[in-house]
Amino acid sequence: MTVASPPRILLIVGGGIAAYKALELIRLIRKAGLNVRVVLTKAAQEFVTPLSAGSLSGDKVYTDLFDLTDEAEMGHITLSRQAELVVVAPATAALMAKLATGLSDDLASTLLLATDKPVLMAPAMNVRMWHHAATQRNLETLRADGVAFVGPDEGDMACGEFGLGRMAEPEAIFAAIQEALKPKAQPLKGRHVLITAGPTFEPLDPVRGVTNRSSGKQGYAIAEAAVRAGAQVTLVSGPVNIPTPAGVERVDVETAQEMYDAVHSALPADVFIAVAAVGDWRAKEIARDKQKKGEDGELTITLVKNPDILASVGKHESLRPQLVVGFAAETRNVEVYGRTKLRTKGADVIMANDVSKDVFERDTTNMILIDESGPTNAKLLTKREAAEDLIRYIGTRIK
Ligand code: C5P
């Protein structure tokens, strides 16, 4: 009964009336000649049996994290990574909440946390549960983490209400699966992409310093998108609290001068993307000891200008990358300042965003991409989507 080659899809079936449609989905997947391995949550087994799911998939159905035979035969880590794609249908509010918060307390949620493969969710729940602020918050978090969604649809629900929350039809889920399995184009294959991210920190004395507000999220998202596009990525990063994305070479720095030096030693590059919020000024002299409060309640610090890293690369005489991208975080006149920056920094493209609305720690951002042909329309995107957009754009510009 066991399928010979590793499954291309791991299908996690959550508990809900829509679980019966998962059987049709298994049938469609198998009809297309794809192997699928099925996991049923405890609640899902109230709606479909392992026997029916297994007869359709032609494979063993997994239900229990503590099934020792399975752990001996195949650990949950292997189970979570053998397939190319993890599909959750129906994705209940509970399964979404668990993955959004990183909770793993059964086989399904453990697999979702342990997988390194793309995840596609087909939500199904009562309309009020779908619109609940908590579910919408989880949806936003999961999207920012790169989870793809199909549905839910609008319609009559099993509970008698009407609205958004019906699971997408098996045909639509299958179409999304086919899309997700398509080999991804790698427009930056073999290219060296150099990125700066995060803030810089300029010490004033051994305990104090001047810094900028920047979480580093946008720069890190761009680094990840560049890796997915096949690039070799060097990420010169100021102090942030984000793990290094897989496949990225990260160089940690603190001050603007260190960032400048690290960038110049990482050249040549095909693309330079300056996302870092670099401090414009540093203390002329760094006090050797912690400065005392003093009697008059004032402290005078002389600041000197830091080098402009973006301009130094954008106007580099011999090692200018083919494409130079800068950022403009402005609180007003976003487009005008963005255009000016194209010229003053020697950049080909400026990603301008409006930071008047507290974007710093958030996952969304309001972006305008400005090049010599003008601006694109401002879009509210997750930082991950903005990164994908930028990398797609770069792919079209690079020769
Ligand atoms: O001049 P401003 O700081 O507004 O320009 C922002 C752009 O310039 C960003 O891309 C930022 O990474 C880059 N920059 C830099 N070095 C500096 C100042 C800004 O690379 N010293």
pLDDT tens for residues 191-200? 999 999 999 9
Confidence of residue 73 (pLDDT cuts 50, 70, 90): low
Residue 232: its H or E element: strand 232-237
User: Would you call 134 a catalytic residue per the annotation?
Assistant: no
Task: Pick from 194, 200, 308 the residue to mutate for probing ligand 1's pocket: most ligand atoms within 8 Å of its CB.
Answer: 308
The predicted pLDDT at position 381 comes to 81
323 has which bridge partners?
271
Which of 319, 314, 218 shows the shortest CA–CA distance to 266? 319
Local confidence band at 2 (pLDDT 50, 70, 90 cut-offs): very low
Output the CA–CA distances (angstroms, integers) from residue 293 to 207, 287, 290, 299, 300, in the order listed. 13, 13, 10, 8, 12
Residue-wise pLDDT tens digits, 246-265: 899 999 999 999 999 999 99
Beta carbon of 197 within 6 Å of any ligand 1 atom:
no
Range ranked top by mean pLDDT from 14-18, 230-234, 292-296, 376-380: 230-234
Tell me the pLDDT tens digit for each residue of 93-108: 999 999 999 999 999 9
Please check whether residue 97 is in contact with residue 137, taking contact to mean a CB–CB distance below 8 angstroms.
no
pLDDT of residue 85: 96
Residue 336, pLDDT above cutoff 50: yes
Percentage, residues of the chain above pLDDT 90: 70
Question: What is the distance between the alpha carbons of residues 261 and 263, in angstroms, rounded to a whole number?
Answer: 5
Mean pLDDT lowest for which of 24-33, 70-79, 272-281, 303-312?
Answer: 70-79
Catalytic residue chosen out of the listed positions 134, 158, 159, 299 = 159
Q: How far apart are CA 224 and CA 122, in angstroms?
A: 25
Q: How far is CA 271 from CA 221, 222, 231, 232, 305, in A?
A: 16, 12, 10, 10, 26
Mutate to test the pocket of ligand 1, among 271, 315, 327 (most ligand atoms within 8 A of CB): 327
Span 192-397 CATH architecture: 3-Layer(aba) Sandwich (3.40)
Name the CATH superfamily housing domain 8-181: Flavin prenyltransferase-like (3.40.50.1950)
Query: Average pLDDT in the 75-89 region?
Result: 89
Q: What is the mean pLDDT of residues 42-59?
A: 95
Question: What does the alpha-carbon distance between residue 18 and residue 222 come to, in Å, rounded to a whole number?
Answer: 37
CATH 3.40.50.1950 domain range(s) in the chain: 8-181
Please give the mean pLDDT across all residues of the chain: 90
Per-residue pLDDT band at 70 (split at 50, 70, 90): low
Task: Kindly report, as residue ranges, where domains of CATH 3.40.50.10300 are found in the chain.
Answer: 192-397
Q: Does the C-beta of 38 come closer than 6 Å to ligand 1?
A: no
Under the banding of pLDDT at 50, 70 and 90, the label for residue 3 is very low
Of residues 229 and 298, the one with the higher pLDDT is 229
Ligand 1 in reach of 214 Cβ (< 6 A): no
SS3 231: coil
Taking the centre of ligand 1 as the mean of its atom positions, its distance from the CA of residue 231, in whole angstroms, is 23
Q: Cβ(347)–Cβ(314) under 8 Å?
A: yes
In terms of DSSP bridges, do strands 303-305 and 281-283 run parallel, antiparallel, or are they unpaired?
antiparallel
pLDDT for 380 equals: 76
Answer whether residue 60 shows pLDDT above 70: yes
Q: In the predicted model, is pLDDT for residue 281 greater than 90?
A: yes
Question: According to the model, what pLDDT value does residue 363 have?
Answer: 67
- Check pocket membership of 256 for ligand 1, CB cut-off 6 A: yes
pLDDT at 80: 86
The yes-or-no verdict on residue 291 having pLDDT over 50 is yes
The string of pLDDT tens digits covering residues 340-375 is: 889 999 999 999 887 766 555 666 777 888 998 888
Whether the per-residue pLDDT at 90 is higher than 80: the answer is yes
Element holding 66 (H helix, E strand): none
